[in-house]
Chains A and B, each alone.
Chain A
Amino acid sequence: MFRRATGLLARRLMSSSGSRARPYSTDLPAAPTEDSTFVEAWKKVIPNIEPPKTPLSFMKPRPATPSSIPSKLTVNFVLPYASELSTKEVDMVIIPATTGQMGVLPGHVATIAELKPGVLSVHEGNEVKKYFISSGFAFIHANSYADIVAIEAVPVDQIDPSLVQKGLAEFTQKLSSASTDLEKAEAQIGVGVHSALNSALTG
């Protein structure tokens, strides 16, 4: 008896994916909490039993893209061991993307950016908080939510300048004496990270 339900589901999925291209997620309205075609088909065949809950009904629906640009950007900044900022409303964040420093304002186009070692600054009114990020990703959604994930993030005043200089000298020396590709890559990473730390301290 239940085999028919899965057959109906499969046929419905096939027809909808073949006939039209899927819209971008930025153009969709708020995500539904259950698949209404499935529920109707279930009720027609098995009216007495409640339709099973699908993962969709357990998830919080994706918030709809508001029609006017919101005034604040909501930032979630998380690290593996702590949540630095959790749904904090700010005016702007500047993220150190691999393509350069990127400023994110409310209403920014949805973007996924890979981050390079650099400074993340969070602007709220007149105060600016700066964190040095080791590397990570930033996901900016169409509804002005930004999720920033990083492995290590420290406020810039926790960085020790003498250790940075020592590290920079050590890795520049390693870079010139490196032989294998892997050693060269590691030395280059070292030089890159330490020069980013240096400019974070001075800039």
Chain B
Amino acid sequence: MASNAAAPFWRSAGMTYITYSNICANLVRNCLKEPYKTEALTREKVHFSVSKWTEGKPEKPTIRSDTPED
């Protein structure tokens, strides 16, 4: 049994499976016909805020959002 199977090209370039899978999904969504394409793009929207913590205190959060700011 091969313990180190040949890594797929994206793995050897430093990409994780999730990144690869999300890129594939985005490419497919961008190739759809019109009414389906707009539905699919709404599915792609993300909204999250990330903040790094140093010495027990959160720093300023970065907000990544595809929804317009209110």
Contact = CB atoms under 8 A, between A and B. Distances in A.
A190 B24 CA distance: 7
Interface stretch (A45-53, A104-112, A150-158): A150-158
A98 to B, nearest CB: 8
Contact of A134 (B10, B25, B33, B37): B25
B25 A163 contact: no
A14 to B, nearest CB: 27
Interface residues of B, number: 25
B50 interface: no
Contacts of A186: 15, 23
Contacts of A117: 24, 28
A135 B29 CA distance: 12
Contact of B23 (A159, A189, A194): A189
| Chain A, interface residues (CB within 8 Å), range | 20 to 34
A154 B32 CA distance: 8
A193 interface: yes
A163 B12 CA distance: 29
Interface of A: 81, 98, 117, 132, 134-136, 151-152, 154, 158-160, 163-164, 167, 181-182, 184-186, 188-190, 193-194, 197
Interface of B: 8-10, 12-15, 20-25, 27-34, 36-37, 40, 43
16 contacts: A117-B24, A134-B27, A135-B25, A151-B25, A152-B25, A154-B28, A154-B36, A154-B40, A160-B32, A160-B33, A163-B31, A181-B14, A185-B9, A185-B10, A190-B27, A193-B28
